[in-house]
Amino acid sequence: MSRPKRPIIVVKIGGSILTGGKAFRRAAEFVEERLRESKERYVVVVSAQSGMTDALEQAARQIVPSPERRAQDLLWSTGELGSVALLTIHLHRLEVSAVGLNVHETGLRVAEGGDPFGEITLHSEALDQALNHHRVVVVPGFLATSVGGSIVSLGRGGSDLTAVLLSIHLGALRCELVKGVGGYFTRDPRVDRSGVHIQSLTFERALEMADAGCELVQRQAIEAAKGSDLPILIRSMGDARFGSVISSTPAGSRELSIQD
């Protein structure tokens, strides 16, 4: 299967944004607006709705104290797949050429042994075909499959890793992580408005902030992006001027902006 002729942009929409029906409608409108401003094809990675992953884990732990990993991962996957279906349906309402894929169709596969932080490859036949026929392909974040075909979760914040890995393997023009805040700040803006916005930071600084407790971007996703020198834009669905860029140099933000 040949690669799509048009360039690809990977956008991840986090669970902090997907809080209900109205939020999915806004997310679909956000994607549709982006399509009107560009000619690229989009892979949109979605997380489960806000609070869903915790709720599903709690439901499992009410049955047994320590759920078996495979069963827990399978249960978790229902949250992401629900988000894929809902966003795709909202895009159809806007007459956007879009299709939603499941975990197996997306094609991310962990190596033998099922380590979610080991080598992950992309088997992209179904994804390539979808991109050749649609402007937008919606895929589940947080999840991959094992060599044997079972579903494997990629750790908390794993949708960030999904977006980064797909960007790398597809040769995407850019990787955007859409969050509930407009990038990095010196203090969490949700609890302390005195925090100063950080427009750009190196991979090393982002990793230091992750080690210090900043959970804005999953550490494994930052490491994967650093290994491939893939700049990441972190932004909200609002004014992109408040986004932050993680790259190999502090000046990386000059090379990656929403208007590119």
CA distance 121 to 63: 34
Q: Please write the tens of the pLDDT for every residue from 199-235.
A: 999 999 999 999 999 999 999 999 999 999 999 999 9
Domain match, 42 and 82 both: yes
Q: Give 117's Cβ-side CA count (13 Å radius).
A: 10
Q: Residue 127 — φ and ψ, nearest 5°? A: -65, -45
Asked if residue 144 lies in contact with residue 159, where contact means CB atoms within 8 angstroms, the answer is no
Q: What is the CATH number of the domain that holds 97?
A: 3.40.1160.10
Domain with 216, as residue range(s), is: 182-230+240-260
Bridge partners, residue 8, by sequence: 41
pLDDT averaged over every residue in the chain: 90
Contact residues for 43 (Cβ-Cβ < 8 A; gap 6+): 8, 9, 10, 11, 127, 131, 136, 137, 139, 166, 170, 172
- Per-residue pLDDT of 82-114, as tens digits, reads 999 999 999 999 999 999 999 999 999 998 766
Q: pLDDT confidence of 238, banded at 50, 70, 90?
A: confident
Q: What is the pTM of this model?
A: 0.92
Categorize the per-residue pLDDT at 118 as very low, low, confident or very high, splitting at 50, 70 and 90: confident
If you average pLDDT over residues 11-19, what whole number do you get?
95
Tell me, yes or no, whether 58 lies in a domain. Answer: yes
- For the segment 137-147, the average pLDDT, to the nearest whole number, is 96
Same-domain pairing of 206 and 152? no
pLDDT of residue 257: 42
Q: How many residues does the chain have?
A: 260
* Percent of the residues in the chain that have a pLDDT greater than 70, as a whole number: 90
Specify the pLDDT at position 241: 62
| CA 6, chain centre distance (Å) | 21
Domain boundary among 178, 199, 222: 178
pLDDT band at 66 (very low <50, low <70, confident <90, very high): very high
Structure-block tokens of residue 158: 């794993």
Pair (167, 152) in one structural domain:
yes
